[in-house]
A and B are shown apart, each in its own frame.
Chain A
Amino acid sequence: MRRLDPRSAALSVARGTAQGAIFGLVIGTTLAGTLGLPAWVVPLLAPGGAVVAGGLALARYYRFRYEIAGDTLRVESGVFARQSREIPLGRIQNVDTTQGALNRVLGLAVVAFETAGGSATEATLDAVAPSEADRLRRIVQRYGEDAEQDTEPTDDGVVEGPDEGVTAAETDAVASERGAESAEQLFAFGYRDLLTYALVSVRPAALVFLLVGLPLGIDVALGVLRFNLGLLGSDASVAVTLLEAIGPPRLVALAALSLVQVTIAALAVSVVLTLVEYYDFTLVREGDDLRYERGLVRRYSGTIPLSKVQTVTVRENVLMRRFGFATLVVETAGYSGGNQGSTQGVAVPLAPRETVYDLARDIEPFEDVSVRRPPKRARRRYAARFAIVATALTGVAYALDTRLLSSGYWWLALGLFALVPPAAHLRWRHRGYALTENVFVARSGFWQRTTSVVPYYRIQTVFVGRSPFQRRRRLATLTADTASTASLLGGSANAHDIDEDTASDLRDTLRERLYQDLFRRRADAASTDE
Chain B
Amino acid sequence: MESLHPRVRLLWVGRTAVTGLVLAGLLVLAGRFVGLLSLPLELVAAGWVALVGLGAVHAVFAHRIWRFSLDDDALFLVRGVVTRTDTSVPYVRVQHVDTTRGPVERSVGLASVVVYTAGTRGADITIPGLRPERATELRERLRDLAGESEATDAV
Q: Mark B53-95, 1 if CB is under 8 A from A, else 0.
A: 0000000000000000000011000001011111111101100
B120 contacts A492, C-beta separation under 8 Å: yes
A200 to chain B, nearest CB (A): 29
A490 to chain B, nearest CB (A): 10
From A280-288, A316-324, A459-467, give the one contacting chain B. A459-467
Complex contact B153–A518 (CB within 8 A): yes
Q: Is A484 an interface residue (CB 8 A)?
A: yes
Interface membership of A98, Cβ < 8 A: no
A515-B73 in contact (CB<8A)? yes
Which of chain A's residues 497-530 have a Cβ closer than 8 Å to chain B?
Answer: 504, 507, 511-512, 514-515, 518, 521-522, 525
From residue B50, how far is it (CB to closest CB) to chain A in Å? 21
Contact A460 B151 (CB under 8 A): no
Segment of A102-110, A295-303, A475-483 in the binding face? A475-483
Indicate which residue in A461, A468, A525 contacts B88 across the interface (CB closer than 8 Å).
A461
Contact partner, A460, options B83, B84, B119, Cβ 8 Å: B119
Residues of B within 8 Å of A466, CB to CB, are 83-85
Known: A116-B155, A483-B155. A461 touches B92 (CB 8 A): no
In the assembled complex, the CB of A458 is this many whole angstroms from the nearest CB of chain B, namely 9
- The 8 Å CB contact of B122, one of A461, A504, A514, is A461
Residue of A nearest to B87 (CB): A463
Residues of A within 8 A of B84 (CB): 465-466, 471
Given the contacts A465-B84, A468-B82, A460 and B118 also touching, CB distance less than 8 Å: yes
Contact of B117 with A by CB under 8 A: yes
Q: Is A485 an interface residue when CB atoms closer than 8 A count as contact?
A: yes
**Do A485 and B152 contact each other (CB < 8 Å), given the known contacts A460-B93, A464-B86, A518-B92?**
no
Q: Say yes or no: A514 contacts B90, CB within 8 Å.
A: yes
The answer to whether the Cβ of B125 comes within 8 Å of any Cβ in the partner chain is: yes
A461 and B83 within 8 A (CB): no
Contact of A514 among B86, B87, B92, B119 (CB under 8 A): B92
> Is the Cβ of A461 less than 8 Å from the Cβ of B86?
no
Q: Is A190 an interface residue (CB 8 A)?
A: no
**Interface range on chain B (Cβ under 8 Å from partner):** 20 to 34
Q: Chain B contacts of A515 at CB under 8 A?
A: 73, 90, 92, 149
Given contacts A461-B119, A479-B121, contact A521 B89 (CB under 8 A): no
Q: Which of B73, B93, B120, B151 contacts A522 (CB 8 A)?
A: B151
Which of chain B's residues have a CB closer than 8 A to the CB of A518?
92, 151-153
**What's the nearest-Cβ distance from chain A to residue B153, in Å?**
7
Which B residues are CB-close (under 8 A) to A290? none
B82 cross-chain contacts in A, Cβ below 8 A = 467-468
Residues of A within 8 A of B121 (CB): 461, 463, 479, 481, 487, 492
Residues of A within 8 A of B119 (CB): 460-461, 481-483, 487
Q: Is the CB of B85 within 8 A of A465?
A: yes
A435 at the interface (CB under 8 A from B): no
B contact residues around A467 at 8 Å (CB): 82-83
Q: Is the CB of A116 within 8 A of B152?
A: no
Interface size class of A (residues with CB under 8 A): 35 or more
Residue of B nearest to A510 (CB): B88
- Residue from B85, B90, B120, B125 whose CB has the most chain A CB atoms within 10 Å: B120
Is A420 part of the contact surface with B, judged by Cβ < 8 Å? no
B125–A511 CB distance below 8 A = no
Q: How far is the CB of A90 from chain B (nearest CB, A)?
A: 8
Across-interface contacts of A522 in B (CB, < 8 A): 151-152
- B120 contacts A462, CB within 8 Å? no
Closest B residue by C-beta to A504: B86
Among B80, B93, B149, the residue within 8 A (CB) of A461 is B93
Residues of B within 8 A of A90 (CB): 154
Q: Which residues of B contact A428 (CB under 8 A)?
A: none
A333 to B107, CA, bound (A): 39
Known A-B contacts A485-B120, A492-B120, A492-B121; the reply to A461 vs B73 at CB < 8 A is no
Contact A461 B90 (CB under 8 A): yes
- Taking the closest CB of chain B, its distance from the CB of A502, in whole angstroms, is 13
Q: Point out the residues of chain B lying under 8 angstroms from A471, CB to CB.
A: 84
A465 touches B83 (CB 8 A): yes
Chain A residue contacts of B92, Cβ below 8 A: 514-515, 518
User: In the assembled complex, how far is the CB of residue B1 from the closest CB belonging to chain A, in whole angstroms?
Assistant: 14
Q: Which residues of B94-151 are within 8 A (CB) of A?
A: 117-122, 125, 149, 151
List the A residue with the shortest CB-CB distance to B89.
A461
Residue pair B120, A464 in contact (C-beta under 8 Å): no
Extra A-B contacts (12), CB below 8 Å, given A117-B118, A465-B85: A460-B89, A460-B122, A461-B87, A461-B122, A467-B82, A487-B120, A511-B88, A512-B73, A514-B92, A515-B73, A522-B151, A522-B152
The 4 closest A-B pairs by CB, nearest first: A460-B119, A481-B119, A464-B86, A483-B118
17 contacts between A and B (CB under 8 A): A308-B155, A333-B155, A457-B153, A461-B93, A461-B122, A465-B80, A465-B83, A465-B84, A468-B83, A482-B120, A484-B120, A485-B120, A488-B120, A507-B88, A515-B92, A518-B151, A518-B152
A interface list, Cβ under 8 A from B: 90-91, 116-117, 308, 333, 457, 459-468, 471, 479, 481-485, 487-488, 492, 504, 507, 511-512, 514-515, 518, 521-522, 525
